[in-house]
Amino acid sequence: MRFYDRQRELTELDNLEKQTVSAARMVVLTGRRRIGKTALALEFARSRRHLYLFVSKKSEPLLCAEFLEDIRHQFDVPVVGEIRTFQDIFRLLLELSRKEPFTLIVDEFQEFLQINPAVYSEIQHLWDVNKGTCRLNLICIGSVYSLMRRIFEEKKEPLFGRADRIFNLKPFPIRTLREILDDAGVKRGRSLFDCWVLTGGMPKYMDLLAANSALTFDRMMDFVLQADSPFLDEGRNLLIEELGRDYGTYFSILELISLGKTARMEIQSILAADIGGYLERLENTFGIISRHKPIDAKPNSRLQKYRITDNFLNFWFRFIYRNRSAIETGNFAYVREIIDRDYPVYCGLLLEKCFRELLAESGNYNRISSYWERGNQNEIDLVAVNDLKKTITIADIKMNKTRLGIEGLKHRARGLLASYPRHRPEWLGLSLENIADYLPK
């Protein structure tokens, strides 16, 4: 699959590289695995002088020997003696950048925590002393989100405040998925939505599906539900290192959220345990879940629901992890039957999320959420507010357009509108076929 999207990030990376004429620059690329961090860095560096170093899990002397070979391959530089520490490798690269500016990409940067945590202090010292006289464009890539935040954003860490820019990459928007389907010759409409439901716009997953001609629902499910499918263990592979030894409790919470158990007390009752700390870490440390509140809720309101932010992980916990016994015995037909039974209802909430993202991309609103009152009364799927123009868009969203009802929506919105007496309401009924109306032509 060719390189898609990321034009804003490429422009910003280009601007930062130009600044190295006066001093070295440090850039951080974060985001979960499969988001395309390495692809972005290599696309940027493709036509530039660059060196790519991958921090693999091995001893520091062995790693440095590997790095030294890469340096000798890229630069005509004699190295006297043996280099056994990354501190000496980094010192050499800074010195090289004085003579010739170049981009240094260090991938899996968080792995130094396991190899030698002192590396970060050593980098800090060398960077502070040499930044003003070097022309190095340093790009640090990390796939463990919580560790990269710790390394660069916690005040007590040596590299805090050293990065000139931190990019937290997001999945492709649905308009980019449309472009991928167009290039593959796949008709849009339902296939576009199904691709978004499964992948959430993750570039690696779209690449896998496109390479295997699996961009329609039936072909997607055939590809996912087969022996040795890369998707079957993907959730486990993504999260176990991130979540650590308590991953079992985290997985139980995430499974329940994927099944629609979205209130803390509801989850706590089922697990018979206090999960407050786990929810806080899933939200603020790992970025796996988010809190969702009614649009007019106060900051300290307890009227809230938890949702898994990543579409693929939501699908994985709902259909793969939940049915792991059938998966392990190879009974894929059983899992497919469950998906076929539950998928239409499952897609309902995803369609609401889809329209929230599309309206957010339009730039026409400063607040977008949904609405409900205590006891889940008077639920409204989407509310979008423009406080400058004094408008409020209120939408009913259904997979089946025949179930849309504006009069019922107006009845449920009476309490909501009481909080917006000066806003002009707009009423919408949105279904699957309306997605195209909100995409660039």
Quick one: pLDDT at residue 81?
A: 67
SS3 assignment, position 222: helix
pLDDT at residue 309 above 60? yes
pLDDT digits (tens, 9 = 90+) for 31-42: 989 999 999 999
Query: Three-state SS for 294?
Result: strand
Q: Let me know if domain 358-438 sits in CATH 2.60.40.
A: no
CATH number of 7-168: 3.40.50.300
Distant-in-sequence, close-in-space partners of 367: CB < 8 Å, separation ≥ 6: 295, 384, 385, 387
Annotated domain spans of the chain: 7-168, 174-224, 234-330, 358-438
Kindly report the number of other CB atoms within 10 A of residue 165's CB atom.
15
Please list, in sequence order, all residues whose beta carbon lies within 8 angstroms of the beta carbon of residue 277, skipping any fewer than 6 positions away. Answer: none
- Average pLDDT over all residues of the chain: 94
Retrieve residue 397's tokens. 């969203």
- In terms of C-beta density within 10 A (0-12 exposed, 13-18 middle, 19 or more buried), how is residue 203 classed? buried
Query: Fold for domain 234-330?
Result: Arc Repressor Mutant, subunit A (1.10.10)
pLDDT at residue 79 above 70? no
Q: In what order do the strands lie in the sheet with 25-30?
A: 50-54, 102-107, 136-141, 25-30, 165-168
The rounded radius of gyration (Å) of the Cα atoms in the chain is: 24
Q: What is the pLDDT of residue 1?
A: 78
Say how far apart CA 336 and CA 332 lie, in whole Å.
Answer: 6
Which distant-in-sequence residues (6+ apart) come within 8 Å of 81 by Cβ?
none
Q: What is the pLDDT of residues 383-437, one digit of tens each?
A: 999 999 999 999 999 998 999 999 999 999 999 999 999 999 999 999 999 999 9
Residue 303: the pLDDT is 87
pLDDT at 323 over 80: yes
Residue 302 pLDDT grade (very low, low, confident, very high; cuts 50, 70, 90): confident
Going by their DSSP bridges, the two strands 305-308 and 289-292 should be labelled as antiparallel
The fraction of the chain above a pLDDT of 90, given in percent, is 88
Range with the poorest average pLDDT among 8-22, 64-78, 139-153, 160-174: 64-78
CA 139 distance to own-chain centroid: 19
pLDDT at 407: 93
Tens digits of residue pLDDT in 334-346: 999 999 999 999 9
Interval 66-82 mean pLDDT: 82
Identify the residue with better confidence: 104 or 400.
104
**347 three-state secondary structure:** helix
Per-residue pLDDT reduced to its tens digit, 246-268: 899 999 999 999 999 999 999 99
Residue 89 above 80 pLDDT?
A: yes
Write down the residue that tokens 């929506």 correspond to. Answer: 409
> Quick one: what percent of the chain has pLDDT higher than 70?
99
Contact 126, 133 (CB under 8 A): no
Residue 314 tokens read as: 């939501």
Burial class (CB in 10 A: 0-12, 13-18, 19+), 232: buried
Contact of 364 with 382, CB cutoff 8 Å:
no
Nearest-angstrom CA–CA distance, 292 and 146: 21
In this prediction, residue 80 carries a pLDDT of 57
CB 239 within 8 A of CB 250: yes
pTM of the model: 0.91
Q: What local confidence, expressed as pLDDT, does residue 241 receive?
A: 86
Q: What does the CA dihedral 231, 235, 240, 243 come to, rounded to 10 degrees?
A: 160
The whole-number average pLDDT for the span 187-205 is 93
